């Protein structure tokens, strides 16, 4: 297959109920826009028929590929595994629920074409684009987490957690070989790394609709994410994001992806 312009990574855990419909929408969008794109579904140790459904569809679509994690490692690990095995000049990831419609990827691609290294979808830049809002308690916890992210990590971003992000390939590799958080807290970590490397991160308002089937627990997972924010600060102070030996450790855990590329120098 010709090297793709775009790689679309979809992390999946026990998604048999919606992965077929999701892939139909993604593949239809790819064809409608004429994107030369590969679609990578990263199965994070699912115990249902997720992998079987993807394999069946891949037999009919040569640009669809299944990647298997070594068991259930978390969304952060799944995204990292997919990104580091992607072949596109532009790589992105989206959640399996497609809360942001796949067509909105054009907005991210445009931001990258205009000079951004990283383009992230935002639910909060233009709230009128929210087609189905979260319940008020979810909005409250989400805004609290964003405030903590700004306080602890000094991220000047309105929405770190939207699962709709795109990267230039070299920027993606520079970021994800340094990533260490494997579960929900990986989003602020990769943005922290990007800014630390001096990369240009642009927020883009996207259409977004809340999915009631979201598995995140705002109490249990929220506490875990706060712990992970503190770990990111520790990793940064310890030099884990800019020392070659730590990058080697990272590459060893990325599903066998050993290719190296030039990376920007990290800021002190």
Distance CA 231, CA 164 (A): 23
Q: Which residue has the tokens 């299944």?
A: 66
Boundaries of domain holding 64: 6-252
Residue 71 inside a domain? The answer is: yes
161 vs 220, residue with greater confidence:
161
Quickly tell me which residue has 């970021």 as its tokens: 175
End-to-end CA distance of the chain: 41
Within a domain: residue 268? no
Task: Tell whether the model's pLDDT for residue 29 goes beyond 50.
Answer: yes
The pLDDT tens digits for 203-238 are: 999 998 755 555 566 556 667 878 898 999 999 998
pLDDT at 255: 44
In a domain, 167, yes or no: yes
pLDDT tens digits, one per residue of 74-84: 999 999 999 99
Average pLDDT of the chain is 85
| Comparison of pLDDT for 214 and 161, the residue scoring more | 161
Which band of pLDDT confidence, cut at 50, 70 and 90, is reported for residue 43? very high
In the chain, where do the E strands start and end? 6-12, 37-43, 64-68, 90-94, 118-122, 130-132, 164-168, 201-205, 208-209
Let me know if residue 185 belongs to a domain: yes
- Nearest-angstrom CA–CA distance, 54 and 19: 8
b/e code 190-215 from CB counts within 10 Å (16+ = b) = bbbbbbbbebbbbbbbbbbbbeeeee
**Residue 58 CB coordination number (10 Å):** 16
Number of folded domains in the chain? Answer: 1
The answer as to whether 84 is a domain residue is yes
Q: Which of 11-25, 43-57, 64-78, 196-210 has the lowest mean pLDDT?
A: 196-210
Question: In the structure encoding, which two tokens stand for residue 252, read together?
Answer: 């060893």
* pLDDT value at residue 161: 86
Query: Does some domain include residue 257?
Result: no
How many C-beta neighbours within 10 Å does residue 220 have? 9
How many Å apart are CA 229 and CA 139, to the nearest integer? 19
Query: Quick one: average pLDDT of 140-169?
Result: 83
97: pLDDT strictly greater than 80: yes
The CA distance from 78 to 67, in Å, is 9
Q: What CATH number should be reported for the domain holding residue 157?
A: 3.90.550.10
- Residue 1 within any structural domain of the chain: no
Q: Is the pLDDT of residue 251 over 70?
A: no
Question: Can you tell me the distance from the alpha carbon of 197 to that of 199, in angstroms, rounded to the nearest whole number?
Answer: 6
Q: Categorize the per-residue pLDDT at 142 as very low, low, confident or very high, splitting at 50, 70 and 90.
A: low
């Amino acid at each position: 297959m010709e090297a793709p312009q775009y790689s679309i990574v979809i992390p999946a855990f026990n998604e048999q109920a919606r992965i077929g419909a999701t892939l139909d929408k993604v593949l239809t969008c790819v064809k409608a826009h004429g994107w030369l794109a590969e679609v990578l579904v990263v199965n994070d140790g699912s115990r249902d028929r997720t992998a079987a459904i993807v394999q069946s569809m891949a037999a009919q679509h040569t640009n669809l590929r299944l990647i298997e994690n070594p068991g259930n490692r978390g969304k952060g690990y799944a995204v990292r595994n997919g990104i580091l095995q992607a072949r596109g000049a532009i790589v992105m990831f989206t959640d399996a629920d497609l809360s942001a419609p796949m067509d909105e990827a054009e907005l991210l691609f445009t931001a990258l074409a205009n000079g951004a290294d990283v383009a992230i979808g935002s639910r909060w830049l233009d709230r009128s684009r929210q087609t189905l809002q979260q319940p008020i308690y979810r909005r409250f916890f989400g805004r609290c987490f964003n405030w903590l992210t700004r306080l602890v990590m000094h991220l000047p971003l309105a929405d770190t957690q939207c699962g709709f992000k795109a990267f230039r390939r070299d920027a993606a590799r520079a970021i994800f070989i340094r990533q260490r958080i494997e579960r929900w807290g990986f989003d602020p970590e990769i943005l922290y790394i990007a800014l630390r490397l001096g990369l240009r991160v642009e927020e883009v308002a996207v259409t977004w609709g809340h999915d009631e089937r979201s598995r995140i627990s705002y109490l249990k997972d929220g506490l875990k994410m706060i712990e992970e924010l503190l770990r990111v600060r520790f990793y940064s102070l310890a030099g884990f994001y800019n020392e070659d030996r730590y990058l080697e450790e990272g590459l060893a855990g990325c599903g066998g992806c050993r290719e190296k590329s030039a990376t920007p120098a990290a800021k002190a």
